[in-house]
């Protein structure tokens, strides 16, 4: 395990790849690895790319990688694709668009399946980010699954979130809905050479005009397949990062991220212990049979685990 960590910190591809496997699959050694590398994290720029399926996220990512490489930055990509809800398997195909970088030592691409995790990312995405960060990658791009409206986890992780839009997916009501549309720090209107791009652009602008925030997301037109608009987009991304840094929001974001990581682990660790209790299956049966509310079930399990619950006495008195 020490060799693995040393190799990872020295930027060895195989060590990093093996460490990711351990972390992704919650295999023995995960905690030790994360403990050794955690103090060395916090330097990479985390860039989220999200948007509906087929919007061109992977192609755009490919072109952003190329741009960053020309600037001499090392890049890691986490490309998330959905797992089948039926078989648990997955086809991870985002890499197809990025294979021109396969032989570049400065680019490390890793595919992850969601494994039925909701929110647009894979369950252990954050831990994999830590590994890339500790390995000294300058920029880590996280490409979410193709999202619909509510998969917004990426915003809690990335410094800058790019929402990729394409013409022809819906009218202005779609644009004014909540969720994915609200998390953009930067919009990329991709396939901007197609019919409807101007309309989409003006609708986006109209939506943004209604936002009261002092810092509004910038909109960029791109045609990723032809490498059009990428330089401007990347400049816009880092300009956003700089604004966040200077506004002091960054500290708030860091705390938010820490809280989110803690929350995820509190859930996982308590759940694991609860499932290990003998009473667990009985509680599930009683809740399923409507003999007990889920909250009462949780209290029973918590009592067994030695976790005290504050009673809501006042609310119950009438």
Residues that bind other proteins (CB under 8 A): 13-14, 17-18, 20-21, 25-27, 83-84, 86-93, 95-96, 99, 102-103, 108-111, 113, 115
For residue 277, the minimal CB distance to other proteins (Å) is: 18
For residue 202, the minimal CB distance to other proteins (Å) is: 36
Measured from the CB atom, the residue of 105 and 311 that comes closer to other proteins is 105
Measured from the CB atom, the residue of 138 and 304 that comes closer to other proteins is 138
Copy the structure tokens of residue 121: 């990312």
Task: Return contacts of 267-276, CB within 8 angstroms, 24+ apart.
Answer: 270/305, 270/307, 273/305, 274/301, 274/305
Q: How many other CB atoms sit within 10 Å of the CB of residue 56?
A: 23
Copy the structure tokens of residue 263: 């929350």
Task: Return contacts of 236-242, CB within 8 angstroms, 24+ apart.
Answer: 236/186, 237/47, 237/160, 237/162, 237/185, 237/186, 238/45, 238/160, 240/160, 240/185, 240/186, 241/45, 241/159, 241/160
Cα 127-62-226 angle, rounded to 5 deg: 160
For residue 135, the minimal CB distance to other proteins (Å) is: 12
For residue 99, the minimal CB distance to other proteins (Å) is: 6
Measured from the CB atom, the residue of 102 and 289 that comes closer to other proteins is 102
Q: Is-contact 219 189, C-beta < 8 A?
A: yes
Measured from the CB atom, the residue of 7 and 241 that comes closer to other proteins is 7
Measured from the CB atom, the residue of 27 and 262 that comes closer to other proteins is 27
Q: Give the burial string for 243-264 (b: 16+ CB within 10 Å, else e).
A: ebeeeeeeeebeeebeeeeeee
Q: Give the burial string for 58-92 (b: 16+ CB within 10 Å, else e).
A: bbbbbbbbbbbbeeeebbbbbbbbbbeeeeeebee
Q: Is-contact 214 80, C-beta < 8 A?
A: no
For residue 252, the minimal CB distance to other proteins (Å) is: 34
Q: Is-contact 252 159, C-beta < 8 A?
A: no
For residue 148, the minimal CB distance to other proteins (Å) is: 21
Measured from the CB atom, the residue of 53 and 93 that comes closer to other proteins is 93
* Residue whose structure tokens are 């397949």: 225
For residue 26, the minimal CB distance to other proteins (Å) is: 8
Give the relative orientation of helices 13-24 and 30-37 as an angle to the nearest 10 degrees: 120
For residue 48, the minimal CB distance to other proteins (Å) is: 21
Measured from the CB atom, the residue of 83 and 161 that comes closer to other proteins is 83
Measured from the CB atom, the residue of 99 and 303 that comes closer to other proteins is 99
């Amino acid at each position: 395990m020490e060799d693995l960590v040393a190799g990872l910190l020295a930027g060895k591809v195989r060590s990093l790849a093996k460490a990711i496997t351990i972390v992704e699959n919650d295999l023995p050694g995960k905690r030790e690895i994360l403990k050794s590398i955690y103090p060395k994290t916090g330097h990479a720029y985390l860039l989220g790319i999200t948007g509906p399926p087929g919007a061109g996220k992977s192609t755009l990512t490919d072109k952003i990688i190329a741009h960053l490489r020309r600037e001499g930055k090392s890049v890691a990509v986490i490309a998330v694709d959905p797992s089948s809800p039926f078989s648990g398997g997955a086809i991870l195909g985002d890499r197809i668009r990025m294979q021109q970088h396969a032989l570049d030592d400065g680019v490390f691409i890793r595919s992850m399946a969601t494994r039925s995790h909701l929110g647009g990312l894979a369950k252990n995405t954050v831990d994999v980010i830590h590994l890339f960060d500790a390995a000294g990658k300058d920029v880590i791009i996280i490409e979410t699954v193709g999202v619909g409206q509510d998969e917004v986890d990426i915003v809690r992780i990335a410094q800058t979130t790019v929402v990729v839009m394409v013409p022809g997916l819906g009218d202005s009501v779609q644009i004014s809905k909540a969720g994915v549309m609200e998390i953009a720090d930067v919009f990329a209107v991709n396939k901007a050479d197609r019919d409807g791009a101007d309309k989409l652009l003006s609708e986006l602008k109209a939506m943004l005009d209604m936002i009261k925030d002092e810092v509004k997301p910038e909109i960029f037109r791109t045609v990723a397949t032809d490498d059009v608009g990428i330089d401007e987009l990347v400049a816009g991304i880092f300009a956003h990062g700089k604004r966040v840094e200077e506004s002091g929001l960054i500290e708030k974001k860091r705390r938010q991220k820490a809280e989110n990581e803690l929350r995820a682990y509190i859930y996982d660790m308590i759940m694991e212990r609860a499932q290990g209790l003998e009473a667990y299956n009985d509680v599930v049966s009683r809740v399923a049979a409507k003999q007990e509310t889920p909250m009462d079930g949780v209290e029973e399990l918590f009592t067994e685990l030695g976790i005290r619950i504050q009673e809501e006495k006042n609310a119950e008195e009438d």
